[in-house]
């Protein structure tokens, strides 16, 4: 953590150097000593320090300075760092002004010039002031801060991106904390730039106005460009299946790169709690599972590109070449598609318009705390919906699960059904679907169609989370890899029709169990036709596929 700051201000360069020298001599081990030769420059510096979230312990200013005297400077500086101790440097003729400043301007002390020897006339008094400051000092958050508003889709996108990539950050809602004095001081220090929300502040003092995930990723050091142009295995998709494949392939010596469009973990990484994963009897969050897997993969040397998107693929002899969204290309001997699925869009009026402003697809882990005391609606009947409902129930006044059917028994694991039934603030609304979402700039109400009565009921709502099935994103593979009618990738036996191998297949063997119609291109996890939509099965497929990849590479 950066050291707290002692700031001295004096327009006389000789006096300024002398006070800086004595401050560093006595306090340099615990504090940073900074000097300024003008009060105006010092105020600008304090604003920069406020934006950086630095701590200022002492403000020491000379009384007689042109344009702004020491008392006026300290009064203005107090508005930026009210907790800092404030002291004046005065000549004998200024003692009346100094005493008046102590009585009327909340100045803590005044020192007479010259202060030699400092062991008698400076350090004892400063020791007392700094001890008093340390007694009430609370170290500020040291990391990325995001300023925005809860109902801003761009603010939500940034927070969700940082959370899913396990980048620590502090969220400051400038609307809900409008009356917080510290937030006010920060916004004042930013000045006109505070209007360019969301604003991302970094510990080094730099900032992004109207920040977007790609810019933040570059700033925090997330890798989006490959280190080399060729790999033994390229994995597109960083969910459980892709991560498992990455760990097993790299641990067995394959030069491996993984390309992830958003954040490692996939949809499973957004789950608030997974309680049926083997080896974790008390359960674990999807984010924790993803974090562990990423660390494990990187330990074996896997190169992870995120956020980065694959937009095309082609073959040239034994090489499979992936085109990336930024225009670059990566070639490999073997390619694995593990892109999983995305949530199906809810086809109802107003939903698209209010997405990110009260309506969200997926787990919404970043929104759970914001829902304290509110009524939250969860749309869907699968495990992901049940896990989210249990998480929101810890904070919300009430959670309402909307399902089209008459129960959860055919779509949700029994352990989750039991937990939901035992949670008093979760309500199950069956035979229900969302007909319309209402609100100008944020979700305010939803209209719910009750299929058993054919009536529409309009209810107040501030947050709605959607988990209504999933579809693959495989359009970028349409002209090369065979898919079923819904876009899932066909592999292994599903490619054999009437005893015939896929069209264009040239090898003297059938496609491997997890291999597509293009030799050397494999598919695992939820994106594969016929896969079991469970975390454990995805991990299993990812690890098993590596054995087939070894067999394929041995013949290349």
pLDDT value, residue 269:
80
What are the start-end ranges of the H helices in 338-442? 383-392, 414-422
The count of other CB atoms within 10 Å of the CB of residue 138 is 6
Question: What does the pLDDT average to over 273-279?
Answer: 86
Question: What does the pLDDT average to over 15-32?
Answer: 96
Stretch among 272-286, 420-434, 472-486 having the lowest mean pLDDT: 272-286
Give the mean pLDDT of the chain.
Answer: 93
pLDDT digits (tens, 9 = 90+) for 171-201: 999 998 888 999 999 999 999 999 999 999 9
The answer to whether residue 548 scores a pLDDT higher than 90 is yes
Q: Look up the CATH superfamily of 232-315+471-553.
A: FAD/NAD(P)-binding domain (3.50.50.60)
Q: What class has domain 359-466?
A: alpha beta
CATH for 144-220, options being 3.40.50.720, 3.30.300.30, 3.40.50.2300, 3.40.30.10: 3.40.30.10
pLDDT value, residue 283:
85
> Is there a contact between 291 and 271 (Cβ–Cβ < 8 Å)?
no
> Is there a contact between 527 and 337 (Cβ–Cβ < 8 Å)?
yes
The answer to whether residue 45 scores a pLDDT higher than 80 is yes
Is the CATH number of domain 5-135 3.40.50.2300?
A: yes
**Beta-sheet strands, E only, within 119-216:** 144-148, 169-173, 199-201, 207-209
The answer to whether residue 379 scores a pLDDT higher than 90 is yes
Q: Domain ranges in the chain?
A: 5-135, 144-220, 232-315+471-553, 359-466
d(CA 225, CA 214): 12
- Residue 104 pLDDT grade (very low, low, confident, very high; cuts 50, 70, 90): low
Question: What does the pLDDT average to over 407-421?
Answer: 93
The answer to whether residue 412 scores a pLDDT higher than 90 is yes
The answer to whether residue 105 scores a pLDDT higher than 90 is no
pLDDT value, residue 33:
97
Question: What does the pLDDT average to over 434-462?
Answer: 95
d(CA 415, CA 535): 16
Question: What does the pLDDT average to over 148-163?
Answer: 93
The answer to whether residue 34 scores a pLDDT higher than 80 is yes
Cis link prior to 114 (omega < 30° from 0)? Answer: yes
Q: pTM of whole model > 0.75?
A: yes
Angle formed by the axes of helices 414-422 and 383-392, to 10°? 30
pLDDT value, residue 364:
67
Give the closest residue to 351 by CA, choosing from 284, 248, 443.
443
Query: What does DSSP assign to residue 262?
Result: S
Question: What does the pLDDT average to over 198-218?
Answer: 92
Q: Are strands 375-379 and 398-402 parallel, antiparallel or unpaired?
A: parallel
The answer to whether residue 375 scores a pLDDT higher than 80 is yes
Q: What percent of the chain has pLDDT over 70?
A: 99
E strand or H helix that includes residue 43: helix 39-52
> Is there a contact between 343 and 470 (Cβ–Cβ < 8 Å)?
yes
Is it true that 232-315+471-553 and 359-466 share their CATH fold?
yes
């Amino acid at each position: 953590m950066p050291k707290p700051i002692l700031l001295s201000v004096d327009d006389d360069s000789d006096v300024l150097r002398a006070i800086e020298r004595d401050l560093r001599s006595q306090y340099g081990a615990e504090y940073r000593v900074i000097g300024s030769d003008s009060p105006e420059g010092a105020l600008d510096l304090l604003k920069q320090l406020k934006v950086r979230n630095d701590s200022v312990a002492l403000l020491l200013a000379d009384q007689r300075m042109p344009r702004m005297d020491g008392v006026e400077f300290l009064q203005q500086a107090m508005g930026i760092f009210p907790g800092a101790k404030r002291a004046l440097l005065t000549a004998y003729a200024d003692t009346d002004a100094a005493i008046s400043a102590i009585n009327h301007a909340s100045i803590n002390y005044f020192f007479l010039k010259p202060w030699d020897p400092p062991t008698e006339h400076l350090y004892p008094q400063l020791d007392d002031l700094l001890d008093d400051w340390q007694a009430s000092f609370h170290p500020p958050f040291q990391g990325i801060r995001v300023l925005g508003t809860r109902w801003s889709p761009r603010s939500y996108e940034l927070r969700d991106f940082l959370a899913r990539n396990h980048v620590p950050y502090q969220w400051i809602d400038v609307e809900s904390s409008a009356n917080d004095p510290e937030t006010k001081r920060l916004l004042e220090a930013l000045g006109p730039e505070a209007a360019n929300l969301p604003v991302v502040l970094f510990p080094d003092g730099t900032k992004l106005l109207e920040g977007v995930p790609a810019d933040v990723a570059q700033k925090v050091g997330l890798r989006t460009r490959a280190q080399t142009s060729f790999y033994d295995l390229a994995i597109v998709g960083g969910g459980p299946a892709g991560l498992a494949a990455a760990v097993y392939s790299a641990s067995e010596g394959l030069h491996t790169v993984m390309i992830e469009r958003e954040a490692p973990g996939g949809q499973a990484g957004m789950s608030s709690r997974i309680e049926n994963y083997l080896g974790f009897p008390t359960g674990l969050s999807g984010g924790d599972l993803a974090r562990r897997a990423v660390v494990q993969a990187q330990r074996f040397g896997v190169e992870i590109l995120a956020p980065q998107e694959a937009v095309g693929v082609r073959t040239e002899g034994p090489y499979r070449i992936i085109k990336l969204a930024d225009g670059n290309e990566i070639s490999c001997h073997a390619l694995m598609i593990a892109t999983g699925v995305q949530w199906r869009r809810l086809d109802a009026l107003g939903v698209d318009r209010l997405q990110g402003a009260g309506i969200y697809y997926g787990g919404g882990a970043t929104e759970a705390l914001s829902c304290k005391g509110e009524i939250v609606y969860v749309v869907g009947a699968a495990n992901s919906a049940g896990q989210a409902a249990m998480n929101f129930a810890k904070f919300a006044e009430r959670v309402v699960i909307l399902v089209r059917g008459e129960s959860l028994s055919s779509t949700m694991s029994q352990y989750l059904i039991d937990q939901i039934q035992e949670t008093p603030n979760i309500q199950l609304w069956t035979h229900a679907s969302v007909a319309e979402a209402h609100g100008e700039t944020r979700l305010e109400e939803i209209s719910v169609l009750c299929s058993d009565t054919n009536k529409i009921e309009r209810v107040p709502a501030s947050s709605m989370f959607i988990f209504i099935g999933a579809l693959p994103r495989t359009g970028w593979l349409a002209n090369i890899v065979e898919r079923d009618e819904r876009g899932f990738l066909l592999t292994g036996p599903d490619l054999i029709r009437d005893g015939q191998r896929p069209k264009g297949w040239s090898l003297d063997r059938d496609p491997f169990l997890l291999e597509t119609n293009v030799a050397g291109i494999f598919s695992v996890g939820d994106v594969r036709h016929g896969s079991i939509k469970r975390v454990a099965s995805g991990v299993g497929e990812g690890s098993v596929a590596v054995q087939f990849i070894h067999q394929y590479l041995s013949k290349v």
